[in-house]
Amino acid sequence: MLILNGMAVLIIRLMFVILSYLILSRFNWSFFFVKEDANYARFMLYMLSIALGYLVGSFFIEIIEVVQNIIMSQLL
């Protein structure tokens, strides 16, 4: 059961990182960076995607755990 829980956490966080990358890549980053900093802008996009995806994924996982605890407390 612990392995399945760990795999679910990994999949959820990876899914939110990819989703945040897809959303943030639609944003016009050239407004903030000059043409010479294209590699820096791409690096910032990757880091922001990872940070935002991890944050949202952790929140989502915490909500799932709270709901599981509420359900389990009602059954006992």
Please name the residues in contact with 14: beta carbons below 8 A apart, sequence gap of 6 or more: 53
Domain boundaries, the chain: 2-75
Indicate the residue type of 76: L
- Dihedral, 63, 64, 65, 67 alpha carbons, nearest 10: 90
Q: What is the pTM of this model?
A: 0.84
Does residue 11 contact residue 20 with C-beta atoms inside 8 Å?
no
Q: How many CA atoms lie within 13 Å of 24's alpha carbon, on the beta-carbon side? A: 19
11-70 pLDDT, tens per residue? 999 999 999 999 999 988 878 888 788 888 899 999 999 999 999 999 999 999 999 899
d(CA 56, CA 52): 6
Region 6-13: mean pLDDT is: 94
